[in-house]
Amino acid sequence: MISAALCTLAACLTAGELSTTPGDPRAHTYSIICYDTVSQQFGAAVQSHWFRVYDVIWAKPRVGVVASQSLADFTYGQVGLEMMAAGRTAEQTLAGLIASDNNSAVRQVAMIDATAGVAAHTGEKCIAAAGHIVDTVDGIVVSCQANLMRLPGVPEAMLTRFANTDGDLAQRMMSALEAAEEAGGDIRGKQSAALFVTRAEATGRTWEDRIHDVRVDDSAEPLPELRRLLDVSRSYQLTFDGYLLLQEKKLAEANALFEEAIRLNPDQHELIFWWASDIVRTGAGESSDYLPIFKRAFEMWPEWKDVVPRLVESGLLPDDSALITEILAQ
């Protein structure tokens, strides 16, 4: 049973019991959670025929990650993280929560802690096809779980695709979701999806603790939209990483990240404009490096020319009339 102290801390449990109302939210779904033991990043991704399935997945850097689905009680997410933060393993945490839950037979839950411990539960009354699979792939601890699937074998298909996909944690999880759909997916269809990857360390600023955090709350085709949003998120992250390189005057390495960002997000003229401005501002390159990039931005969105003098006024471009004239001539 869960200690009374933890129940009080969570403000979600009374006398060691989880809520006993199984009817909502009906988060029948497929999901994947993982922990990269090298990068120390947690990741989670999910898809369901239910509005705003984002609530299924929970994580905190240096603590753990949780997926709570089927006839879900999201207390497993909130209290599960609090228990792991207090030093319980994923196995101890899940066992305690299940023991406190009168409706554990309809729950499907998976947890991974910061020591790479993993635990998963598919209650015997979860709607078929239902099941989970746990494994370690390239130093990444993975748990895939699904219920109310059209066909059996969805968790296994997810794990196989994850293992056979190159790329970072986000790319591999995205591929796992697509594999689930190809294997039959949710028998009810598709509606919402979400994916996130945490940083290795908590910053104390929750808005910075996730490298990627994308979601689709209501769509006829949530996975293609989620992949598009993930590409957008990756493009912004690459641009930020490139800016850090510009500050070190590593122009070639920075430009490589920028070009990959634009490949992922080709219509985003704003990234192009600010990239050119950042080269000027950091002094990382010559006019031949940034003028062609300004030209690309102006061709896509001519109003950026109106922004250039405003940046001078704000101290974001040098107060150099010859330089500004040269930029605006592009």
Query: 211-229: per-residue pLDDT in tens?
Result: 999 999 999 999 999 999 9
Q: Are 282 and 247 in contact (CB under 8 A)?
A: yes
Q: What does the pLDDT read at residue 21?
A: 41
Of the chain, the end-to-end C-alpha distance in Å amounts to 69
Segments in the chain forming alpha helices (H): 4-10, 75-85, 90-99, 154-163, 169-182, 222-247, 251-264, 269-282, 287-300, 304-313, 321-328
**Backbone φ, ψ for residue 192 (5° rounding):** -140, 160
Q: Are 223 and 192 in contact (CB under 8 A)?
A: no
Of 5, 1, 19, whose CA–CA distance to 96 is shortest? 1
Q: How far is C-alpha 265 from the geometric centre of its chain's CA atoms?
A: 18
Both tokens of 197, joined, read 């990857």
Q: What does the pLDDT read at residue 206?
A: 82
Residue type, 122: T
Q: Are 196 and 66 in contact (CB under 8 A)?
A: no
Q: What does the pLDDT read at residue 25?
A: 57
Which residues make Cβ contacts (< 8 Å) with residue 147, sequence separation at least 6? 28, 29, 30, 69, 70, 108, 122, 126, 127, 128, 129, 130, 131
Burial category of 95 from C-beta neighbours within 10 Å (exposed 0-12, middle 13-18, buried 19 and up): middle
Which residues make Cβ contacts (< 8 Å) with residue 52, sequence separation at least 6? 192, 215, 217, 218
Residue type, 118: V
Our CA angle for 54, 59, 63, nearest 5°, is: 170
pTM metric for this prediction? 0.89
CATH entry, 4-220, from 3.40.50.300, 3.60.20.10, 3.30.565.10, 3.20.20.70: 3.60.20.10
- Which regions of the chain are under pLDDT 70? 1-27
Give the single-character DSSP code of 127. P
Q: What is the CATH number of domain 235-328?
A: 1.25.40
Both tokens of 11, joined, read 């403000």
Burial category of 307 from C-beta neighbours within 10 Å (exposed 0-12, middle 13-18, buried 19 and up): middle
Q: What does the pLDDT read at residue 11?
A: 37
So where are the chain's domains? 4-220, 235-328
